[in-house]
Amino acid sequence: MTAHPAVSGSLAGQYALITGASEGIGLGIAEAMLRAGAHVMIAARRRTQLESAQQSLHESASPGQRVEIAEVDIRDPASVSALFERVDDAFGELNVFVANAGSGSMVRFLDMTEETWQSTIDLNINGTFRSCHHAATRMAARPDKSRNASILVVSSIRALGTRPGTIHYATTKAGLNQFVRVAAYELAEVGVRVNALSPGITATPMALERNPEVFEKMAATVPMGRAGSVEDMGSAAVYLSGAAFVTGTNHIVDGGESLY
């Protein structure tokens, strides 16, 4: 449970689990946590992508740092239970949990189907709840209450404003923001912190591949003149995960995009 002599940083020697971390923002957060000295486990649905991400992370890891992978579908209670049992076996403790797994699509309200609405809720709300509940239960029971215990929920600035086609996604993210506030209040007494990270438009491989011209136009409207990077999100995640007196916050990382 101690840091390797070659490893330093704000999260040195700590154990972090990140869901939805085989690519994009989740992988960027895992990379940042490695740089901060943590051992990491990345979890996602597709093993091939996980193995590729693991290889990439190993290349930047310091001697003694561990990079583990685990398949999980957070919509499935049994799969989530198995994930946290793997964390127990591999790490023995959990200091940082990042609930990043989630998804959304552009569907206007009048075209919304029951299936799309429900599947978004099942993934973004229900999946986040059950994974955070597993993490919180373990953290609350930790023998050494001085050890860091941080839950970070990846939300979105879409919860703060209105944009056509995002009603299902925005509704779930707004729900997560309140979930974070209530969970933070309840868990404060056992020393478990809960915060939200709300990215704006972010240059992930998926976002850039979908429609690069539209992405470029949207990025140009950001007051700071560019889209966010996965490194921007990773550095914010490291800060929130290690900030000992910060809980119940919604940390917006969007270059000012939500100001208009």
Catalytic pick from 169, 185, 239, 260?
A: 169
Active site residue 169: yes
Q: What is the 3-state secondary structure (H, E, C) of 142-156?
A: CCCCCCCCEEEEECC
**Cβ proximity of 120 and 103 under 8 Å:** yes
Closest CA to 198 of 256, 252, 255, 247: 252
CA distance 65 to 67: 7
Order of strands, edge to edge, in the sheet holding 39-44? Answer: 67-71, 39-44, 15-19, 96-99, 150-154, 193-199, 250-253
CA distance 86 to 2: 20
Enumerate the active-site residues: 169
